[in-house]
Structure 1
Amino acid sequence: MHFSVNYLRHHDDAKSGPVRVGWCLADTDSPVIYDPPRRVHSRDARKEHAKSAARCPAVLNLESRYFEVPCPFDMNIGFARDNEGRPTLRNLAGGSSSIRGSTLGKKIVITNEKEWRFPDRPMIQLKLPYLFIADEPVYLTQLDAYLHYRRDPLPGTIFGGRFPINVWPRPLMWAFEWHDTEKPIVLRRGDPLFYCQFEFDNPERTVQLVEAEMTPELKTYLDHISGAVNYVNQTFSLFEAAERVRPDTLLTARKS
């Protein structure tokens, strides 16, 4: 990777301390419904006994490395095909739904059927405004919230991913591959949609998650790299070009 002298000096000075990762919301029409990402931990677990699993260092160390992104609204959706055989979504909550059907249709989309990995497994995407950034080399891995118990398991699997948030920050989405279309997708507001794990130079370092400002420099950089997926199949090939125009600082902590 090719970074400026100031960028590398900042990285060298901080590499023994916590890794600062910033989060903020990209443009959205209703920011109030998007709760902050939160560190995963066993909230209701009993900890009185010294040998409790909830006090196990290995368990605590694992949980401390995950941050969960919560679901912004209730949803109960089913899969169907219209009269012409095209895939479509149904709002099964009907009039009792907490979100209007027209709004839900703007937030959740079915990808083009030709882009599905398997012909019998629809792929849907929930657009989210969550954005993570860093000023040193940090990879974000998005994975299923596998520590969260669901009384009614989801009828499929989420699409994870891994990319460097220091050079390629972008709004996340919840992508889902629907294995059993006879069963609905039911999610509740506040339930974890997925986990974020951050990788960096030293596994002994911890993550300090801070709310970040959408500065003019960050906005300009996002505009510079956004939309590349529509024109280039392998966006990872653009990392070096993005690094050449990257400002020294993208992460500015928001003042409380």
Structure 2
Amino acid sequence: MQIGISHQRGPTDPGRGPVRVGWFLNKTEAPVIYDPPRRVNSRDARRDHAKSAARCPAVLNLETRYFEVPCPYDLNLGFARDAAGKPMLRNLSGGQSSVRGSKLGQKIHVVREAEWRYPDRPTIQMGLPYVFIADEPVYLSQLDAYMHYSRTPRPGTIFGGRYPIDLWPRPLMWAFEWHDIDTPLVIRRGEPLFYCQFEADGPDRAVQLVEAEKTPELETYLDHISGAVNYVSQTFSLFDAAARVRPDKLLKVREK
């Protein structure tokens, strides 16, 4: 079996058309609550006028380059400290919450205080099962959902990030830096947690997002690279090693 990912393209050059990006859910409890990523667009915008902003080519071109990952459940969280001064999260919905407290605690947590970027800005993390994969060099940038309006503004900012999904496919993490700790964090199910932007080898290439099949080859490769962040501080240094064992093809479109 030939190993490694080739950057040489032949007659069927994928770089001459849309870049194909696959997504799938990693092993997770209750996968039905995780809606598919969706392309950002002005769903309810008026388009009846020729000069409408909703028909502007520049606006449409920008929107087609973002995909939003929706929040899987309602969040109504407050930041607090316990009697020992340890940071903690409070479920402000109490008994009215749609999520059991024990389950919510398994999905979202406060990062160790020593790892915060700023001493007065707690960082919280939510584990997500979304994984993106490509068979050519593609970078994913994780961005704030800045085009989404919420009646309850979020009291902080997300951690962005950028990495190659062809070499380092991994479950995404939503990380939030809480600036105003006196203001609750409120996000409704279905609202975008963040945007994903995909970059291939040309600024004009469109992105075709498809649901990927979890083949044995893909799962073996995921197992090979998973957990590296727990042992190595700079995981980007492992890309060359990952490329040496990566099969040529990992993306297979899932048949409906």
TM-score clears 0.5:
yes
Equivalence for 1:25: 25
Equivalence for 1:255: 255
- Letter paired with 1:99: V
How much has 1:11 moved relative to structure 2?
9.3
Cα deviation 1:183-213 (Å, max 9, x = unaligned): 0100000000000000010111100000001
Cα deviation 1:98-150 (Å, max 9, x = unaligned): 00000000000111100000111000001100000000000000000000001
- Letter paired with 2:21: V
Question: Counterparts of 1:8 and 1:81 in 2: how far apart (Å)?
Answer: 55
What is the root-mean-square deviation in Å for CA atoms of aligned residues? 1.3
Question: Counterparts of 2:27 and 2:191 in 1: how far apart (Å)?
Answer: 23
Question: Counterparts of 2:132 and 2:99 in 1: how far apart (Å)?
Answer: 26
- Letter paired with 1:244: R
- Letter paired with 2:126: L
Equivalence for 2:195: 195
Equivalence for 2:92: 92
Question: Counterparts of 1:59 and 1:172 in 2: how far apart (Å)?
Answer: 27
Equivalence for 2:41: 41
Question: Counterparts of 1:41 and 1:168 in 2: how far apart (Å)?
Answer: 28
TM-score of the superposed pair, with normalisation by structure 1: 0.97
**Are 1:143 and 2:119 an aligned pair?**
no
Contact 1:11 1:136 (C-alpha < 8 Å) held by counterparts: no
Equivalence for 2:161: 161
Contact 2:5 2:246 (C-alpha < 8 Å) held by counterparts: no
Equivalence for 1:117: 117
Cα deviation 1:216-247 (Å, max 9, x = unaligned): 11111011001111111100000000000001
Contact 1:108 1:124 (C-alpha < 8 Å) held by counterparts: yes
Aligned residues: 254
Runs of 4 or more off by more than 6 Å in structure 1? none
Equivalence for 2:71: 71
Equivalence for 2:234: 234
TM-score of the superposed pair, with normalisation by structure 2: 0.97
Change (3 A) 1:4 1:189: closer
Contact 2:4 2:247 (C-alpha < 8 Å) held by counterparts: no
How much has 1:13 moved relative to structure 2?
1.4
How much has 1:12 moved relative to structure 2?
6.2
Question: Counterparts of 1:224 and 1:195 in 2: how far apart (Å)?
Answer: 27
- Letter paired with 2:216: P
Equivalence for 2:216: 216
Contact 1:42 1:54 (C-alpha < 8 Å) held by counterparts: yes
- Letter paired with 1:103: K
Contact 2:78 2:89 (C-alpha < 8 Å) held by counterparts: yes
Using the aligned pairs only, state the percent identity: 72
Contact 2:139 2:198 (C-alpha < 8 Å) held by counterparts: yes
Change (3 A) 1:4 1:102: closer
Cα deviation 1:66-87 (Å, max 9, x = unaligned): 0000000001010000000000
Unaligned runs of 5+ in 1: none
Task: Report the 3-state secondary structure (helix = DSSP H, G, I; strand = E; otherwise coil) of the residue aligned with 2:68.
Answer: strand
